[in-house]
Chain A
Amino acid sequence: MAWQFSSDRPIYIQVSDQIVSGILTGTYKMGERLPSVREFAVIAAVNPNTVQRALSELESVGLVETQRNTGKFVTQEGSVIEMARNKRGELLASEFLKSMAALGYSCEQTISLLTEAGRREVLANERSDA
Chain B
Amino acid sequence: MSEATLECRELSKYFGPNAALHNVNISLPAGKIIGLLGPNGSGKSTLIKLACGLLTPTDGEILVCGFEPGIESKALVSYLPERTYLPDWMTVLDCLKYFQDFYADFDYARAISMLQALSVPANARMKTLSKGTKEKVQLVLVMSRRARLYLLDEPIGGVDPAARDYILGTILRNYCEDSTVLISTHLIADVEKILDEFIFLQSGQIVSYASTDSLRADLGKSIDEYFREVFRC
Contacts and interface: CB of A to CB of B under 8 A. Distances in A.
A49 B224 CA distance: 20
A130 B178 CA distance: 61
Contacts of B177: 48
| Main SS at interface, chain B | helix
Interface residues of B, number: 23
Interface in A31-58: 38, 41-42, 44-50, 53
Contact of B221 (A7, A44, A47): A7
A47 B217 contact: no
Interface stretch (B13-21, B140-148, B192-200): B192-200
Interface stretch (A9-17, A18-26, A77-85, A112-120): A9-17
A49 to B, nearest CB: 5
Contacts of A50: 193, 196, 213
A47 B220 contact: no
A45 B193 CA distance: 7
A126 interface: no
A50 B217 CA distance: 14
Interface of B: 31-33, 165, 168-169, 172-173, 177, 193-196, 212-214, 216-217, 220-222, 224-225
Given A2-B193, A41-B194, 18 more contacts: A2-B165, A8-B216, A8-B220, A10-B214, A11-B212, A38-B173, A42-B173, A45-B168, A45-B172, A47-B33, A47-B193, A47-B194, A47-B196, A47-B212, A48-B177, A49-B31, A49-B196, A50-B213
